[in-house]
Amino acid sequence: MSSEGYIAADEGVRLYFEKLGAGEPAVVIPNGFCYLDDFRFLSRTHTLIVYDVRNRGRSDSVSEPGKLSRGVLNDIDDLELVRRHFALDRMTLVGHSYVGLTVVVYAMRYPGHADRILQIGPMQPSQREQYAPPLMVADGVMQSVFARIGELQKARASMDAEAFCRQSWAILGEIFVTDPAHAARVAAWGRCELANERMFMKYWMEHVLPSLQRLELTEDDFATVDAPVLTMHGNRDRSAPYGGGRDWARQLPNARLMTIDGAGHAPWIESPDAVFDAIDTFIGGAWPDAAVTTR
């Protein structure tokens, strides 16, 4: 069973979705289309809903600053609209990278509707927190990658936007995995055929990142999250420090950390059996054996 379409957000903004399978609980993955082939197995036993967040993917392009300036707070409110659209009382949420933060803050702002929450390589709770090794990775790969992107920028005037995007992602892939042989798997995340994705960096720098930097979570905020939270984090993650994953598991009242040893920002690519078995177990209602408390 599958369907697709648009969900009306506010002031004419529409969010594109696909719904697959049937079964309870529903599993919702915001911004999850670039991982859909990897996570499609969930639709065998659950209703799986994947959608493009505001101004991303096949959702409507938004040019008015007033509809973008709240950044991640728009994404949180839009997730509530997705829940209402599908008439879900409770839902299991899966979030990767900064969306791993989004889904937990959603549970803080809209308590009672998150059944279980899976964070994969989540952005840290506080953007002001600085980590030292081994809680972060500083191995020179980031610098090398951005230097090559800088060289590519010099030729941008002679390239069309889609070609530039694809070549950029062919380089960026190395950041997100520890074995460069897997970098090509990440290139598809760019979705360079879509104008919204080609313009994402501008949107990120002007609206999303500033909204994340303004976010201040308190002990009371953490205490409102009653859903079990599994924080799955590679300890060689260059993009989102492993220390941030430990902080989420330590500060949330019902959370456990599953460390994927030697994995980067996309641990399911490098340790698929361990990751997907754990996801199946957790969404099925139990803690994976490798998930531990950190408090």
Task: Provide the residue ranges of all domains of the chain, joining segments of one domain with +.
Answer: 2-137+206-283
pLDDT at 291 over 80: yes
Average pLDDT over residues 108-114: 96
Are the C-beta atoms of residues 136 and 250 closer than 8 Å to each other? Answer: no
Average pLDDT over residues 193-217: 97
Percent of the chain's residues with pLDDT above 90: 95
pLDDT score of 95 = 98
pLDDT at 260 over 80: yes
Q: What pairing do the DSSP bridges indicate for beta strands 48-51 and 114-120?
A: unpaired
pLDDT score of 295 = 78
3-state SS track over the chain: CEEEEEEECCCCCEEEEEEECCCCCCEEEECCHHHHHHHHHHHHCCCEEEECCCCCCCCCCCCCHHHCCCCHHHHHHHHHHHHHHCCCCCEEEEEECHHHHHHHHHHHHCCCCEEEEEEECCCCCCCCCCCCCCCCCCCCHHHHHHHHHHHHHCCHHHCCHHHHHHHHHHHHHHHCCCCHHHHHHHHHHHCCCCHHHHCHHHHHHHHHHHHHHHCCCCHHHHHCCCCCEEEEEECCCCCCCHHHHHHHHHHCCCEEEEEECCCCCCHHHHCHHHHHHHHHHHHCCCCCCCCECCC
pLDDT at 1 over 80: no
Q: Who's near 270: CB < 8 A, 6+ residues apart?
A: 177, 178, 179, 182, 234, 260, 262, 263, 264
pLDDT at 100 over 80: yes
Average pLDDT over residues 212-220: 97
Q: Is residue 2 very low, low, confident or very high in pLDDT (cuts 50, 70, 90)?
A: confident
pLDDT digits (tens, 9 = 90+) for 153-185: 999 999 999 999 999 999 999 999 999 999 999
pLDDT score of 284 = 94
pLDDT digits (tens, 9 = 90+) for 56-76: 999 999 999 999 999 999 999
pLDDT score of 10 = 78
More confident call, 11 vs 37: 37
Among 104, 105, 134, which residue's Cα sits nearest to residue 119?
104
pLDDT score of 12 = 85
Cα–Cα distances in angstroms (integers) from residue 263 to residues 40, 134, 173, 247, 291, in the given order: 22, 13, 14, 18, 16
Q: Does domain 2-137+206-283 have CATH number 3.40.50.1820?
A: yes
Residues 139 and 106: their CA atoms lie apart, in Å, by 33
Handedness of CA 213, 220, 257, 283 (dihedral sign): negative
pLDDT score of 11 = 77
Residues 266 and 141: their CA atoms lie apart, in Å, by 16
On average, the pLDDT of the chain sits at: 96
